[in-house]
Structure 1
Amino acid sequence: MRIGILGTGAMARALGEQWERAGHDVVAGGRTRGGLRAAAEHGTDAVLLAVPYAAVVDVVAGLAGTLAGRVLIDCTNPVGPDFGLLTAGGPAAAERIAAAAPAARVVKAFNLCHESVWRLTPPVFAGRPLAVPLCGDDADALAVVRRLVRDLGCTPLHAGGLDRAGLVEATAALLIRLWVGEGADAQAIAPPLEFAGVSGSAARAGRRSGSS
């Protein structure tokens, strides 16, 4: 695939380097509008949005024409002081991004982990590959992002449409507070599937939905 990355920070480098190892053609751009536009134009298959949340709407709005029809992957987190959610009470970050570039096909993904996790080859813990929730409304765009998730050695999970992206963003805010603010093992808050009150048939259906 041809992947453009808007941003040159730690997340951009970590994901970009892994996708390059998987054989994709990756170009990242940042700081100048020309650099961002060149990266967006390169991303004919997908564009990763990896700039600070405070800048995302302006960046996307300025590139709305270039991003039209493209798969736009939002890995940003609208987390502010004291780990609060900056979008509380309003549209999710992913929804604001979609509104700024209405012809782009936005998918929320890759926002739950620190960049150091994406540098692992692969991110597998206690024999279990990392699961990556995806939110989006375009089936073809979701298929592209599922492939990119698998190319990292991870498992894609269907988390619903873009209207559920706010739940994933709120989860990130909670996890960041627990990890950074409390030094807690946040992974321990969720029991294994067999103890989650989910029937075997429902669990199998969920796994099929996430891997499709």
Structure 2
Amino acid sequence: MADALGTRWAAAGHDLMVAGRTAGKAQALARKWGGRAGSFKEVAEFGDIALIAVLYQGMATTLAEIGDALHGKPIVDCNNPVEIENFTLVTEPRRSMAQDIEQATGGHVVKAFNLCHARVWQLKPPTFDGRRLVVPYCGSHPGAQEMTRHLIADIGGEPLPIGDLQQAHHLEAMAAIVISLLFGGRDPHTVFNLVDRATVTTNT
């Protein structure tokens, strides 16, 4: 997700800096984007807004490393706390990972970009049947929401605000369904189509 979204934002003219638990991977992404790599503290000081993109199994460790570096900063959370044995959420009932990230960092979290496979975000732009992909997002801080809206538009998506950060739980629950379908073999680009349009024929 960091690669897919970062590549699109770099192409849109954003100046990017990346941090990661594996320095080599962070440096490789930075080179690809024409940006820079640094520590979590350096990235937090550099950026106007941060994207956290981590598998849920590594989230606690990552947040511990970030500490309070992102305190007061807008943060985009694209992660899904979904285990892939039963495709259920691993968070507490009625509690989202987005809320956990906000509590841990003291940042202003916006949930976005969590309902599509990374391959969808690689589309230039993400359009289907000539229509822009609708991207729902939610957060409780107006400034962070506005910055996220611009990031969605910058990759060609149609921003759709759905409320405050309490709605993140619903986005994450929806992601559990999407992920189960993807693991079942659905095409990431047409995950909800029962029949691929390319195979449909009609008699005339």
Match of 1:59 in 2: 62
8 Å CA contact 2:69, 2:105 repeated in 1: no
1:183 maps to which residue?
A: 186
Find out whether 1:39 has 2:29 as its counterpart. no
Residues 1:17 and 2:7 are matched in the alignment: yes
Residues 153-184 of structure 1: CA deviation (Å, up to 9, x unaligned): 00111111111101000001111112322638
Q: Match of 1:65, SS?
A: coil
Q: Which of the residues 173, 178, 183 maps onto 2:176? A: 173
Contact 2:2 2:53 in 1 (8 A): yes
Q: What does the per-residue CA deviation read over 1:96-146, in whole Å, with 9 as the maximum and x for residues that have no partner?
A: 1111122x1100001111111111110001011011111100111100000
1:81-120 aligned at under 5 Å gives the runs: 81-82=84-85, 83-87=87-91, 89-102=93-106, 104-120=107-123
Count of aligned positions: 177
Between the aligned residues of both structures, percent identity stands at: 42
Q: 1:12 touches 1:28 (CA, 8 Å); kept in 2?
A: no
Ranges of 4+ aligned residues in structure 1 off by more than 6 Å: none
Q: Give 1:202's aligned residue.
A: none
- Number of the residue aligned with 1:210: none
Question: Partners of 2:67 and 2:142 in 1: how far apart?
Answer: 21
Q: Which of the numbers 66, 75, 78 marks the counterpart of 2:78? A: 75
The structure with more helix, counted as a fraction of residues? 1
Q: Is the 8 A contact 2:126 2:132 kept in 1?
A: yes
Please give the alpha-carbon distance, in whole angstroms, between the structure 2 residues aligned to 1:182 and 1:151: 30
Q: For 1:162 and 1:13, how far apart are their aligned partners in 2?
A: 25
Q: C-alpha distance in 1, partners of 2:22/2:45? A: 14
The one-letter amino acid of 1:12's match is: A
Deviation at 1:58, TM superposition (A): 3.4
The one-letter code matched in structure 1 to 2:162 is A
Secondary structure of 1:187's aligned partner: coil
Relative to the length of structure 2, the TM-score reads 0.80
Q: In the alignment, residue 98 of structure 2 is paired with which amino acid? A: A
Q: Which residue number corresponds to residue 139 of structure 1?
A: 142
Deviation at 1:55, TM superposition (A): 2.2
What is the SS of the residue equivalent to 2:100?
helix
Q: Return 45-54 or 83-92, whichever deviates more.
A: 83-92
3-state SS of paired residue (2:39): helix
- What CA RMSD, in Å, does the superposition of the two structures yield over aligned residues? 2.0
Q: What secondary structure, in the 3-state scheme, does the structure 2 residue paired with 1:175 have?
A: helix
Which residues of structure 1 form unaligned runs of 5+? 1-10, 190-212
**3-state SS, counterpart of residue 25 of structure 1:** coil
